[in-house]
Amino acid sequence: MRTIPHFIGGSPLAGTGRTSDVFDPNTGKVQAKVTLGDKALLDKAVADAKAAQIGWAEMNPQRRARVMFEFKRLLEANMDELAHLLSSEHGKVITDSKGDIQRGLEVVEFACGIPHLMKGEYTGGAGPGIDVYSIRQPLGVVAGITPFNFPAMIPMWMFAPALACGNSFILKPSERDPSVPVRLAELAIEAGLPKGVLNVVQGDKEVVDAILDHPDIKAVSFVGSSDIAQYVYGRGAAAGKRMQCMGGAKNHGIILPDADLDQAVADIMGAAYGSAGERCMALPVVVPVGEETAKRLRQKLVAAAESLRVGISTDAEAHYGPVVSAAHKKKIESYIQLGVDEGAELVMDGRGFSLQGHEEGFFLAPTLFDHVKPSMKTYQDEIFGPVLQMVRAESFAEALQLPSKHAYGNGVAIFTRNGDAAREFATEVEVGMVGINVPIPVPVAYHSFGGWKRSGFGDLNQYGSDGVRFFTRVKTVTQRWPKGGPVTDQSFVIPTMK
Which residues are known catalytic residues? 280
Contact in structure between 247 and 293 (CB atoms under 8 Å): no
| Strand spans (E) along 427-481 | 433-436, 452-453, 456-457, 472-480
Residue 323's φ and ψ, nearest 5 degrees, are -80, 175
Q: Specify the 3-state DSSP secondary structure of 384.
A: coil
Q: Rounded to whole angstroms, how far apart are CA atoms 3 and 258?
A: 55
DSSP 444: P
Instruction: Give the CA radius of gyration of the chain.
Output: 25
- Give 172's contacts (C-beta < 8 A, 6+ positions apart): 143, 144, 145, 146, 200, 201, 202, 203, 207, 208, 211
Burial class, 300, CB count within 10 angstroms (exposed 0-12 / middle 13-18 / buried 19+): middle
Going by C-alpha positions, the residue among 297, 244, 147, 311 that lies closest to residue 451 is 244
CA torsion sign for 265, 271, 273, 275 is: positive
Contact in structure between 199 and 49 (CB atoms under 8 Å): yes
**Which amino acid makes up residue 141?**
V
